[in-house]
Chains A and B, each alone.
Chain A
Amino acid sequence: MADELVYVSWGGTGRVATLRSAMERAKTEERGLVYLAVLDDAGFADLDEGFLAVVKDELQWLLDAQLELTKTQLNAEELPVRVIIRGGDVAEQVSDVVTALGDTEVIIGAPVPLARHQSIEALLAEIQGQVDVPVSLVTADDAEPRRAP
C-alpha cells in the first residue's frame, strides 16, 4: 500500500468537507496525505511571476492552517501531511507530482471548478490517462459530520 495519498484541489468552497473526508481515509488507512493545490491556468495565468509567488505563499499559509485545524478536529495530530503548490494545467501537474512520488493514489476533491472539462468524469479520465496509479473522486457527501471545533 502506498505511503501517501495525493489529495488534489484547485479551489472551491466544497473542499473543506472533501478534505476532511480524504484525511479520514488517510487516517483509517494509516497513510500520509499530500495536499496538491494547483493554481490552474483558467484562474491564475494572468498574474505576473512576482505576484504569483506571493499568492502561493499566502495559499501555503492558509492550507497549512486548514490542515492543522482538520487534524485537530479528526484527532489525527500524528497524521503526516504536507502541501505542494503548483501552477499550470491540473492534469499535467498531477502527473508530474505522482511521477515524483512513485507508488501513490490520487484523490480528486469535488466539487471542483471545471473551466476546461466537460464533466468531472472527463477530468478523471484525463488524469487517469496520464498516471499509472488509482484515481478516485471524493465529494462533500462522502464526508462524515464534522467534529467539534
Chain B
Amino acid sequence: MTLVMSGAGAAILAAEEGEQLSRFVAQESAVVFLLAIAALVTVIASRLRFPFTVALVVVGLFASVLGELVAVDISAEVILFLLVPPLLFEATLNLPWPKLRADLFPILMFALIGTAVGTLAIGALVHWTVAVPWTAAFAFGALISATDPVAVIALFKTLGAPKRLAILVEGESLFNDAVAVVAFGLAVTAAAGSEPFTLGNAINDFLVVSAGGLGIGLILGYLVSSVFLARVDDPLVETSITLALAYGSFLLAEEFGIVVGRELHFSGILAVVASGLMVGNVGMHNTSPSTRLTLDNFWELLTFLVNSMVFLVIGLAISLEDLADHFVPVVVAIIGVLVLRILLIHALAAIASWAQPSRRVPGPYRNVMIWAGLRGAISLALVLTVDNTIFDDETVTTLQIMTYGVVLFTLLIQGTTISVFMERLGLTSKIDTELTQQRHQARIYMSRAGQSEMARLGADGVLFNDMATSLGRTYQRAINDESARLRSHFSGHPELEVSMLLQARRDALVVERSALNEILFSGLIDSQVAHDLTIELDNRMAALDLLEERWESDPLPTFSGTDDGESDNHGR
C-alpha cells in the first residue's frame, strides 16, 4: 500500500517531531546538568565526611528553583523500570550467599512479617488519624514499609561497622522492597474495585508473584552465569550481558503476561535480586580476572550515576511548602513509622533469636536497624503511581506529601545522625582504635623518612656533618617516643594485633592475585589454571571475611534460653 501524505499532514508531523526532539534535548540537558551537580556535591560531601546521598537530597530540595534546567521526567516508570533495577542488582552482586543464608531467617522475618504488619498498622493509623480511605491508607502503609538503606550502607563501610549488621540491614531492604510492592499492588487493586479483596486471594497472589519473580531471576541468572560468564572470555561482552540481565529479568517478570498471552505479572524486584545473587555468587567465580575487574568498575560507576539521579530526584520532587501545608499528616506518618519500627524490630528480633539462638540479633544491632530504616526510591516510585483514577485528588496529595515527609525525615535526620548513634553504641570503636594505631605508625614512618633525608644531605655535603647527625638524633628521639606510644596503645588494645594480621593477610592475597594476573597476561600459564587459582583466592578472601566475623569477633555474652538478647556485645 502506498501512503500519500498531504502537505499539511507532513508539516504537523514535522512540528511534532521537532517538539519531541526539543523535549528530548531538554531532558538530556537536565540529566547532564544534574550529573554535574552530583559530581560537585559528592566531592564536597566527601571532604566534609557527610553522606553524599543525603547531601544530594538537600541540594535537590533547593535545585528546583533552577526550573527548566533541572526539569527531568520523574515518573514512577522512570524510577521503577530505569533506576531501581541496577541499584538492586549491584547490591546483590556483592552480597555473599553464605552470609545471607546464615541470617536468612531473621531477614525474612523482618521483610515478610515486618512489612505485612507494618502495612496493616500504618494503614490503620493513617485511616483513623488522617481520614483517608482504608485502601489508600493500606497502600501508604505498604509503600512506606520499603526501606532503602543506601546512605546507611555506605556509612557502615566508612565507620567499619560489623559486616553482619550490614547484611541484616541490606538483606531486609532487598526483600521488603518486593513485599511492599506486592502489598501496595493488592491495596491499589482493591481500591480500583476490579477484584474483590480477600485474605486468601492476597496470600495466593503474593506467593505466585514472589515465586514467579524468584524463579525468573534464578533461571536467567543461572543461564548468564553458566553459559555467558563461564564460556565467553570478553570483559565487554560479559559486562553487557549482566546489564541486560539486570533490566531483562525485571522486565520479563513484570511483563510476563505478554510472553504467555494472558494477564500475569511477577515481582520484577525479586527477579533482579535473585539474578544478582546468582551472578554474584556463581557467575563471578566463572569469569576471568580481567572481567571481574571490568564488572566491578562498571557496576560501581553505574550505581554511582543512578544513586546520584535517584537522590537528586527525591530532593527535586519534595516541596517544603507542601510539607508545611500538611504538617499534621506528615508528623503522624513520621511518628507512626518510627514507633512501629521500634516495636517490630525488637519483637521480631526477639522471636528470631528465640527460634535460632546461634544467630541471635544483639541489642545494639536492633537499635541500629531501627535507625537505619531509611525510606527512599521505592517509596517515592510507588507513591508516584497513585493518581486520581484510583483515589480522589485530596487523598492522592495527602499520600504523596506524607511519603515525601517520611522520606525526607529519615534521610535528613536518621541518615545524618546514625554515625553518632553507632559510636554511642560502641559499634565503631574498633575504627577509632585502628585510626589511633595508624596515626602512630604514620608518624614513625614520616620521622624515618626525615631521618633518612638528613643522613643523605649530610653524606652529600649539603648539610654540615655534625648538623645532619644532630638532626638525625633528634628524629630518632621522636621515633622512640612514638614507638613507646604505639606500644602503650597496643597494650590497651590487644585485638589490634589480630586486626593487623588479618589486614596483612588480605594485602598478601591481593598481591598474590596481581601476581597471578601478571603471569596470565605474560602467557606463562593457561587461562584455565588462572581461573581455578582465582577461585581459590576468592575463597580464601571469603574465608578470611568469615573468620573475621565469626572467629575474631567479640564473644557472645553468657545467656540463658529465655534471654531476649539485650546486650552490649556484638558477637558472632
Contacts and interface: CB of A to CB of B under 8 A. Distances in A.
A69 B357 contact: no
Interface string A11-24: 11110110010000
A57 B502 CA distance: 14
Given A43-B358, A58-B547, A11 B539 contact: no
A16 B101 CA distance: 30
Contacts of A115: 357-358, 556
A118 B560 CA distance: 6
Interface string B185-229: 000000000000000000000000000000000000000000000
Contact of B552 (A11, A55, A118): A11
Interface in A109-136: 111-115, 117-120
A19 B28 CA distance: 63
B98 A47 contact: yes
B389 interface: no
Interface stretch (B269-277, B469-477, B493-501): B493-501
Given A12-B553, A114-B559, A115-B357, 12 more contacts: A12-B555, A13-B495, A13-B553, A20-B494, A43-B358, A45-B358, A46-B102, A55-B547, A57-B540, A65-B504, A66-B497, A149-B487
Contacts of A16: 494-495, 497-498
Output the residue of B486, B539, B559, B560 with the most chain A CB within 10 A.
Answer: B539
A59 B544 CA distance: 8
Nearest to A122: B558
A11 B555 contact: yes
A55 B572 contact: no
Which of A42, A43, A146 lies at the interface centre, i.e. has the most chain B CB atoms within 10 A of its CB?
A: A43
B558 A11 contact: no
A42 B356 CA distance: 10
Given A114-B558, A149-B490, A66 B501 contact: yes
B365 to A, nearest CB: 16
Contacts of A117: 558
A1 interface: no
A58 B504 CA distance: 13
A104 B21 CA distance: 85
B98 A51 contact: yes
- The interface residues of chain B, by DSSP majority, are classed as helix
Interface residues of B, number: 39
Interface in A42-100: 42-47, 51, 54-55, 57-59, 61-62, 65-66, 69
A104 B505 CA distance: 33
A11 B505 contact: no
A39 B552 CA distance: 12
Nearest to B541: A58
B299 to A, nearest CB: 25
B349 to A, nearest CB: 17
Interface in A7-39: 10-14, 16-17, 20, 39
Residue among A44, A113, A114 with the most chain B CB within 10 A?
A113
A10 B551 CA distance: 7
A38 to B, nearest CB: 10
B556 A114 contact: yes
Interface of B: 98, 101-102, 357-358, 483, 486-487, 490-491, 494-495, 497-498, 501-502, 504-505, 536, 539-540, 542-544, 546-547, 550-560, 571-572
Top 3 A-B pairs, shortest CB-CB distance: A16-B494, A13-B495, A12-B555
A62 B539 contact: no
B490 A114 contact: no
A44 B487 contact: no
A118 B558 contact: yes
A148 B543 contact: no
Contacts of B357: 115
24 contacts: A11-B553, A11-B572, A16-B495, A16-B497, A16-B498, A20-B494, A39-B551, A43-B550, A43-B551, A47-B546, A51-B539, A54-B539, A54-B540, A57-B540, A58-B544, A58-B547, A62-B498, A69-B501, A113-B556, A114-B557, A115-B358, A115-B556, A119-B558, A149-B487
Given A54-B539, A58-B547, A13 B98 contact: no
Contact of A113 (B491, B560, B572): B572
Contact of B551 (A11, A14, A65, A120): A11
A44 B549 CA distance: 11
A125 to B, nearest CB: 14
A58 to B, nearest CB: 4
B101 A46 contact: yes
Contacts of B497: 16, 66, 69
Contact of B555 (A17, A41, A112): A112
A71 to B, nearest CB: 13
Contact of A57 (B102, B491, B543, B572): B543
B505 A58 contact: yes
A85 B539 CA distance: 18
B498 A114 contact: no
Contacts of B554: 12-13
A32 B491 CA distance: 25
Contacts of A46: 98, 101-102
Contact of A55 (B483, B546, B555): B546
Nearest to B358: A42
Contacts of A113: 555-556, 571-572
Contacts of A57: 540, 543
A98 to B, nearest CB: 22
Interface string A136-149: 00001000011011
A64 to B, nearest CB: 10
A133 B358 CA distance: 30
Contacts of A145: 491
B505 A61 contact: yes
A65 B543 contact: no
A124 B244 CA distance: 58
A5 B98 CA distance: 35
Contacts of A111: 555
